[in-house]
Structure 1
Amino acid sequence: MRHPSRSPRRARPRPWVLVVAPLTALTGLAACTPSTPTPDLSSYLEQDLDWGTCDGVATNAVDEELFANPDLECTSAEVPLDYTEPEGETAQVALMRLPARGEAEGSLLVNPGGPAGSGLSFVAAQAPTWQDGRLTERLDIVGFDPRGVGASTPSVDCYSDEEYDAGEVPRFAAVWDVTSADQAEELATRCTEGSGGAENLVSVGSTNVVKDMDVLREVLGDDELTYLGYSYGSELGAMYATEYPDNIRALVLDGGVAPDLTLPDFRVSQLAVQQDRFDDLAALCAESGDCVLGDDPRTASDRLHEIVQPVVESPVATDDGRELDVWDVYAGIIGGLFSEAKWPDVISALTALEDGDPEEMLALRDASFGRTPDGVYTIDADVNIAVRCMDYPRSTPQEHAAHARELAEVAPMFDLEVLTGQDFRSECDAWPAPPTREDPWLTDVPELPETLVVSVTGDPGTTHDGGVALAEALGSSLLTVEGKQHGAYLLGGSRCVDEIVEAYLIDIRTPPDGVRCSL
């Protein structure tokens, strides 16, 4: 059944005065200047959204089951493929809505991170939590798949699921396993051809996604944006705030990314914290008295190397015919580190692996990629590479190889020749267009309305120091959450966090300075 679009504008009162932004916008975001004519986007901003069922929208069996919830509605919005040529080719941004239970006062736009996270999948998975909660008394919950992701177009496709299963793709641990110009060229060629051409491939960078978000705000009928972004989604939210400061009602940035670090510096800070979490895991393991990582957490990294070295030399056959290699092992370990609740699973998988059984580690590896039982990858590393290649400046091969060795120094759990000791080069070396962001990615921040950054003290994905720096850069309120996992709102089971975030999203009521929650 088709549902009418609620597209007329809804002006909503708010208890604060919007500060007028400075005339200059964020460097690198292609801001309009007197010498750059403002593109005419009226045909996009005036489109009506045709909400209907979500039948046929899912791209995998897991989502198909989630999307069958009859309370969910789906549609898509048209945006320019290239914002400098709005009359040219177009892209389609897939949307999912969990409607407010009463008369909606606006929409909450949601991005779960990545790059490559599906907002549709996230909203569908969290719908049972939201359906009877406070948010849906007042707001429609709207997830979107950024261009390149999920049900949106253009799609990015470099390698098949079968090639991911076989390990015939670039692999990632501390850095991507790209060690030659030929490998970098092959990656760029595969992605260009699989995405329907260079114009499609290079359109998926964050600067375009931020512009898409403002089109979505307009066609959803909202004078101002209410937004929830996790991890990479915090980058999108902060970039949006800087480019469209007059269009903000509320921003929650959970797992805030450090805005003041270059990519190499961010990776150093990130891996240092991942090493801390591995050391914590090793300490937990040592409490058992018969720990596969040994009784002394200070030597756990060396023990890890002993456990995985046989896999480096000879991948292990698994029950479904695949082989588990060292890159798979590290994908499983890193994925497990992102939630303290998963640490016993990592310990058990390492114990089984040393005994010659790879199945538990394979399951952790599959979970980190969102691989479904039928072999479909729901977390797309192809999209992740494509977005980052349009976001970050390239390093030289010499810089990249030196960076890999620096990462091994700050995180000795990665200090294996195959992971950090080779002559690596940027996976983006042969990309068909230069990046469209500066590095660091956030500068010249104007005064903004009240926003909220949520940061977990032991987050192994986006460090707490980075969350503090993001809050300072944006002039945001900061909610510090004691815990050791990535992300907090809805993800950590903390009523304290959930109530504070929802009070802000509904009533723009930020927590008092110094308030802390725990997971």
Structure 2
Amino acid sequence: MRIRARTRRLTAFGATLLMVGALGACSSESSDEPPTSTPDAPSDDLRRFYEQELAFEPCEPYATTAADAELFADERFECARLETPLDYTDPDGATASIALLRLPARGEPIGSLLTNPGGPGFPGMNFAALIGMLGPDSPVTERFDLIGFDPRGTGASRPALDCYSDAERESGVISEPHVLGGWTAEDSRRWTDQCAERSGGEQVLAHVGTRDAARDIDVLRAVLGDDGLSYLGTSYGSRLGAVYAEMFPENVRALVLDGPMDPYAGTAERRAQQFTGLQRSFDLMGAACTAQPDCPLGTDPEAVTERFQEIVRPLLDEPVPAGDGRELTYARAIDGVVAGLYAQTGWPLIIEGIREVREGRGETLLALQDGYYQREADGSYSNTIEATQAINCLDEERLTSEEETALIHDALAAAPFADPGRPIAESSNMCEFWPAEPTLGYPYGTGIEGLPATLTVAVTGDGLTPYEGGVRLAEALGGSLLTVEGEQHGIALIGGNACVDDIVADYLTNLTLPPDDARCTIE
């Protein structure tokens, strides 16, 4: 449970280091023009959605994992479903059902605070619940109704993206083929057809992108009775918030964008940033290990990558037992290490996991990977990772097989700790046969007129969304930047840092921004 809690907030990139071909990529330029801003009042054909009433009820029926079932049993939480158009250009057509959780304010509420934990593909109902439990005395929980929602296609929302059976997930179909490349056009077509068949048809696949989710947020804002949106988004949630600001600037009250993504960086540039950042985090973890007795990576900080490769590369041919009849493969070991690199608190688990592999077993690294993939004790999986892949098909540009393969090579050059040391086979773009073209467009969230002051929170040692990207996002939005010294991905209201939380709370409740040179430190 502790491992699951620590790893479930990861970004889309965290699915696997070697999954670049699966997730797709794009350049920093795009021919897609972003939609223009939507007027204050909804059009007549959308009015019924904006004026609907929510019917709140106990949350237990909304749980899609065992952890959520335990969490949602708390009687303070109340849940409901929001109806939105599946296709906003066809409001009279099929609809989506967006599941949401509310924790009412302890005092007189300013309004609602909508939250998103990242992804894309991560459900958000549990994120608001965790914020409420971690900050029971916070001004935020006193003055806001906390709202967590599962973005369309994810978690308890319907239709839900479903691209694999549990048996396929257990076989390693998501990560194993991408270790050495080799994802074919036939694989892409078969995967797309299966996603459509299991998820409700091609129309569903065509309308699960970030811009669709931003429109859902605006409906939810209005239905909750808020004239202006107050929002906290972590990791990919910063992208979702920035896109909302671009589409609905006149409807923004306050935006906190935490663990922020660079709005100027297309996928290729962003992947390079992330792999470089993860190698930096791995080197720091390895150096800390070498200062300890019996470090499995040896005593030389300059040789930790080489030593790690010696330990894990044999898993390519001979996986090690990991309990309950399961095995730790090379790809799963890399996944587990990446999961542990999201915060410095995960380093001891990585070190223990590497020590176990050296001894011929793999329970800890497999547990870290299970936590990220949200594998249940009965062998079932949540749909988080397949939702990540599907949403990225609408957020990312389609590359040629040559570009996909080159991207894998570049990624491994930037993060050699994950390099399997074998030839990389040519790979097709996973989204090659997706039934709709990408809709996000790069850059996004720039040149917005009439946007209120925003707050971006960036950690200097963030390996997944590097600090420089946070600087660029704050500048793009014309808002303030809070710099946090430390090694962590995502911190606001869930990291237990009083300095950060006080500044965020003051901004959300009073719209007071920190000084330009404001800094906090992760102890």
TM-score, scaled relative to structure 2? 0.90
Alpha carbons of structure 1 residues 172 and 369: separation in structure 2 relative to 1, 3 Å: farther
> Which residue, 301, 306, 315 being the options, matches 2:305?
301
Aligned: 1:452 with 2:466: no
Report the AA paired with residue 147 of structure 1: R
> How far apart are 1:399 and its partner, in Å?
0.8
> C-alpha deviations, 1:22-64, integer Å up to 9, x for none?
xxxx963333799xx9672101011011112113111122111
Show the 5 A alignment for 1:393-404: 393-404=397-408
> C-alpha deviations, 1:213-256, integer Å up to 9, x for none?
10001000000000000000000100111111110100000011
Report what 2:257 is aligned to.
253
Alpha carbons of structure 1 residues 274 and 344: separation in structure 2 relative to 1, 3 Å: same
> How far apart are 1:432 and its partner, in Å?
1.7
> C-alpha deviations, 1:70-115, integer Å up to 9, x for none?
0101001100000000111000111100001233221000111111
Structure 1 distance, partners of 2:315, 2:54, is 52
Q: Is the 8 A contact 1:54 1:67 kept in 2?
A: yes
Report the AA paired with residue 505 of structure 1: L
> Which residue, 169, 175, 182 being the options, matches 2:186?
182
Report what 2:6 is aligned to.
none
Unaligned runs of 5+ in 2: 1-30
Structure 2 distance, partners of 1:388, 1:492, is 27
Structure 1 distance, partners of 2:355, 2:33, is 48
Q: Is the 8 A contact 1:263 1:439 kept in 2?
A: no
Show the 5 A alignment for 1:401-480: 401-417=405-421, 421-480=424-483
Report what 1:66 is aligned to.
71
Q: Is the 8 A contact 1:231 1:487 kept in 2?
A: yes
Structure 2 distance, partners of 1:176, 1:255, is 30
Show the 5 A alignment for 1:26-425: 28-31=33-36, 40-171=45-176, 177=181, 179-378=183-382, 380-417=384-421, 421-425=424-428
Structure 2 distance, partners of 1:237, 1:172, is 33
Structure 1 distance, partners of 2:445, 2:145, is 29
Q: Is the 8 A contact 2:232 2:257 kept in 1?
A: yes
Unaligned runs of 5+ in 1: 1-25
Aligned residues: 490
Alpha carbons of structure 1 residues 374 and 106: separation in structure 2 relative to 1, 3 Å: same
Structure 2 distance, partners of 1:142, 1:400, is 38
Structure 2 distance, partners of 1:447, 1:105, is 22
Structure 1 distance, partners of 2:228, 2:203, is 31
Q: Which moved more, 1:375-384 or 1:438-447?
A: 438-447
Alpha carbons of structure 1 residues 40 and 371: separation in structure 2 relative to 1, 3 Å: same
Report the AA paired with residue 336 of structure 1: G
> How far apart are 1:379 and its partner, in Å?
6.2
Q: Is the 8 A contact 2:46 2:91 kept in 1?
A: yes
Q: Which has the higher contact order (CA 8 A, sep 6+)?
A: 2
Structure 2 distance, partners of 1:32, 1:315, is 52
Q: Is the 8 A contact 1:453 1:476 kept in 2?
A: yes
Percent identical pairs in the alignment equals: 44
Aligned: 1:496 with 2:499: yes
Q: Is the 8 A contact 2:37 2:247 kept in 1?
A: no
Report what 1:5 is aligned to.
none
Alpha carbons of structure 1 residues 402 and 489: separation in structure 2 relative to 1, 3 Å: same
Structure 1 distance, partners of 2:495, 2:122, is 18
Alpha carbons of structure 1 residues 27 and 433: separation in structure 2 relative to 1, 3 Å: closer
Q: Which moved more, 1:448-457 or 1:291-300?
A: 291-300
Structure 1 distance, partners of 2:462, 2:112, is 29
